[in-house]
Amino acid sequence: MDSVVGSSGGVAGDGAVSPPVAGRPRLGESAVERWARALIVLCALVLLAATLEIVIDAAVGHSPLIPKQPQIAGWLSGVGVRLGYRTFLIALLAFTGAYAVMLGLVGRISKRWAIVLIGALQLIVFVGPILISTDVFSYIAYARMGVEHAINPYTHGPIAIKHDAVYQYVGHDWKHVATAYGPLYTLLSYPLAPLGLKGAVWGMKLMALLASAGTLALTWRCAKIREIDPVAAVFAVGANPLWVIYGLGGAHNDLIMTLLMMAAVSFAFAGRDIPAGASVVAGALVKATAAALLPFMVLYRRGLGPILGALAALALGALIGYAVFGIHGIDVVAALNRDAAFVSTDSFPTELAHLVGKPGVFPIDHDLLKGALVLIVGYLMWRTWRGYDWVAASGWTLLAISVTSTWLLPWYTLWGLPLAVIARDRRLFAATLVIQGLFIAHQISPLLVPVA
Amino acid sequence: MSRGRLIETTLLILAGVLLAIATVNDVVEQTHVNHRLIADLHTWRVYTGHDYKNVSTEQDLYGHTTRDVVCGNTTPGPPKERIQLCLQMTGPVIDGRRAARGGWYLPPKSEDEPAARYGCFGSATPARYCGKDAASATENPEAGTSPETSPEAGQ
């Protein structure tokens, strides 16, 4: 059995340089080493226990946190109790605390233990029900509209198939809303439509799991190329509470977008500019936000490769999108504009509005936020032109998009996370964790009132 | 550390502090609201003597007051399927309760709109809160929503 505590720095087995680890070799290990090892084991157990608690309680059925859904994890349902805010928040906070401690000790965690732990966390979530969000049922509804009912999901909302089995599970606010996702994602979801509702849910969960695993594999590869500890990089992403509980738990397509973004970064690191540019556009054809990488990649490479790759992928995507969905299938800007007008209570602009005594954000605030975002992106482009790390600039942009968005959802804070862990500017990773920490802190008010 | 990087770091820290203050402010505010709403529900149950689960509360988001309206059925049944009694809650939370200063009734299957209200009592004067006159005088003086659409989840 592999040791939890890795070797004391130096070159790891796969050739990567791991950070030096304080302490002596294992034979003469100090009390500090033993305590560190015990703490790592304890934190790993907390991560597993918190995830199990959430999944087992979620399997009991519908609650304010668990959307109505077909019974896909019935075999787990006899163990827990219905998931309430208190249990969920305590588990989430315990998970977050253990993750933070383990991040501090990650240099002492061996490669095998890190992979086993991350794999276990992701598999536990995979076998459970859909957590927190109804989005996956919107994805399935759009797929079934196109495949089973010959209705264009870019021109109609799920209300158009209200007799379909999936309709009852679509979130109330999205029943009249046409899809905002790119044509590549919609086409990827089409093969799941004929599998029936449960089959489609499992298909979506599998896609999310594979996308997560692929993102982690590419993060590992990119970290090694940049001589960053790959274990630390992969742990920071794969054991992240928002990644595991919200991203993977909700089977969000944001994970497919991050996979394609990391493929783009990996290609760029390998000097393959054309596939790099094409991968960015492929990511944007899943979710438009991925396009944020392209200007920084182009500015850094200063060649035609990324542009040619992007144009080729865009032309192909537009052609297929237009052929299958018509003009609405390629009108990404309209969908972005529509979603940009939404307001969520968790968004930072809403919190700032409350801070200055306003009840919420107003139309003028949207314009100010867009202006701020343009300034930030402009500054980052100028910095990249002057030699700043383009990966970090892309990560800052994705973080700025989520912070300035009036419609912030937890999985939006995941967009830049894989970039942050491989960026040369470590401030990006710290800032990403701070934003995620503030998001989690914003959820805790139900814990602070007396039990009714 | 170069001067540019120092400025960037300072700005990042300031932005982080601002967001942290805003987050803490929101959590404190929300905690107070939750505390108040729990007291509202408790008060409605004590006042009516009905320990019903499905009792709804609405806040005065437009008026920025802490005056909440709590509505629930007067006899057992599904939510809003019976005659409903709505109470206006005001003042501080004392011993887990707030003061019910007035209220009105709603017919079955009705939303809390001035035109649907009847039997206004206490501080809920008929001219301001009940019936068609109140409906034309004001558009729902109590209940409010946030200034822009706030879909519940997703995408």
Residue A236 CB contacts under 8 Å (≥ 6 apart), including other chains: A103, A106, A417, A420, A421, A429
ipTM associated with this complex: 0.87
Distances (CA, A) of A343 to A280, A304, A411, A439: 27, 39, 16, 15
**pLDDT for B1:** 66
Give the 3-state secondary structure of residue B140.
Answer: coil
Q: Is 70 exceeded by the pLDDT of residue A12?
A: no
Q: Which whole number is the average pLDDT over A163-190?
A: 93
Backbone angle region of A9, left / alpha / beta, with phi > 0 → left and psi within -120 to 50 → alpha = left
CB pairs under 8 A between A and B: 117
Chain B residue with minimum CA distance to A425: B5
Q: Is 50 exceeded by the pLDDT of residue A179?
A: yes
Chain B residue with minimum CA distance to A179: B155
Residue A413, both tokens: 């804070």
Mean pLDDT over the full length of chain A: 90
The angle that helices A111-127 and A31-58 make with each other, rounded to 10 degrees, is 10
pLDDT band at A29 (very low <50, low <70, confident <90, very high): low
CA angle A419, A349, A429 (to 5 degrees): 20
What letters, b where the CB count within 10 A reaches 16 and e where it falls short, cover A342-351?
bbbebbbbbb
CA angle A224, A228, A234 (to 5 degrees): 75
| Contact across the interface for B23 and A342, Cβ inside 8 Å | no
| Contact across the interface for B146 and A360, Cβ inside 8 Å | yes
Nearest chain A Cα distance for residue B4, angstroms: 11
Find, among A223, A188, A179, the residue nearest to A207 by Cα. A188
Nearest chain A Cα distance for residue B57, angstroms: 15
| Contact across the interface for B18 and A352, Cβ inside 8 Å | yes
Higher pLDDT, B66 or A48: A48
**Can you tell me the distance from the alpha carbon of A263 to that of A255, in angstroms, rounded to the nearest whole number?**
12
Q: What is the mean pLDDT of each run of 10 residues along chain B (155 residues)?
A: 90 97 93 88 90 84 78 89 92 89 90 87 81 61 37 43
Nearest chain B Cα distance for residue A352, angstroms: 5
- The minimal CB distance from B25 to the residues A177, A354, A362 is found for A354
| Partner B contacted by A134 (CB < 8 A) | yes
Digit-coded pLDDT (tens) for A331-390: 777 777 777 778 888 899 999 999 998 888 888 999 999 999 999 999 999 999 999 999
Pick from A63, A135, A355 the residue to mutate for testing the B interface (most B CBs within 10 Å): A355
What letters, b where the CB count within 10 A reaches 16 and e where it falls short, cover B87-107?
bbbeeebeeebbebebbbbbe
Specify the range with the lowest mean pLDDT, choosing from A140-154, A338-352, A424-438.
A338-352
Cβ atoms of residues A215 and A259 within 8 Å: yes
pTM of the model: 0.84
**DSSP secondary structure letter of residue A247:** I
**Can you tell me the distance from the alpha carbon of A409 to that of B155, in angstroms, rounded to the nearest whole number?**
8
| Partner B contacted by A257 (CB < 8 A) | no
**Can you tell me the distance from the alpha carbon of A380 to that of A367, in angstroms, rounded to the nearest whole number?**
20
Cβ atoms of residues A281 and A182 within 8 Å: no
Q: What share of chain A is helix, strand, coil (3-state, %, to 5)?
A: 70, 0, 30
For A382, the enclosing helix (H) or strand (E) is helix A363-385
Chain A residue with minimum CA distance to B13: A431
Cβ atoms of residues A360 and A343 within 8 Å: yes
**DSSP secondary structure letter of residue A20:** P
Q: Is 70 exceeded by the pLDDT of residue A19?
A: no
**pLDDT for A16:** 39
**Can you tell me the distance from the alpha carbon of A363 to that of A365, in angstroms, rounded to the nearest whole number?**
5
| Contact across the interface for A449 and B148, Cβ inside 8 Å | no
Nearest chain B Cα distance for residue A175, angstroms: 11
Q: Which residues of B touch A (CB under 8 A)?
A: 8-9, 12, 16, 18-27, 29-31, 34-35, 38, 41-42, 61-62, 64, 144, 146-155
- The minimal CB distance from A442 to the residues B27, B146, B150 is found for B27
**Can you tell me the distance from the alpha carbon of A43 to that of A60, in angstroms, rounded to the nearest whole number?**
26
| Contact across the interface for A452 and B16, Cβ inside 8 Å | no
**pLDDT for A114:** 95
Give the 3-state secondary structure of residue A30.
Answer: coil
Chain B residue with minimum CA distance to A343: B150
- Name B85's bridge partners: B72, B105
**pLDDT for A101:** 96
**Can you tell me the distance from the alpha carbon of A252 to that of A410, in angstroms, rounded to the nearest whole number?**
11
Give the 3-state secondary structure of residue A341.
Answer: coil
pLDDT band at A122 (very low <50, low <70, confident <90, very high): very high
pLDDT band at A160 (very low <50, low <70, confident <90, very high): very high
The string of DSSP letters for B18-49 reads HHHHHHHHHHHHHHHHHHHHHHHHHHHHHHH-
**Can you tell me the distance from the alpha carbon of A434 to that of A227, in angstroms, rounded to the nearest whole number?**
24
Chain B residue with minimum CA distance to A410: B154
| Contact across the interface for A441 and B24, Cβ inside 8 Å | yes
**pLDDT for A341:** 79
Distances (CA, A) of A227 to A86, A199, A200, B4: 42, 41, 40, 26
| Partner B contacted by A425 (CB < 8 A) | no
**pLDDT for A360:** 86
pLDDT band at A9 (very low <50, low <70, confident <90, very high): very low
Digit-coded pLDDT (tens) for A202-241: 999 999 999 999 999 999 999 999 999 999 999 999 999 9
Cβ atoms of residues B26 and B85 within 8 Å: no
A427, burial (CB in 10 Å: exposed 0-12, middle 13-18, buried 19+)? middle
Cβ atoms of residues A178 and A156 within 8 Å: yes
**Can you tell me the distance from the alpha carbon of A122 to that of A117, in angstroms, rounded to the nearest whole number?**
9
Side-chain-facing half-sphere of A296: CA atoms under 13 Å: 29
Cβ atoms of residues A40 and A140 within 8 Å: no
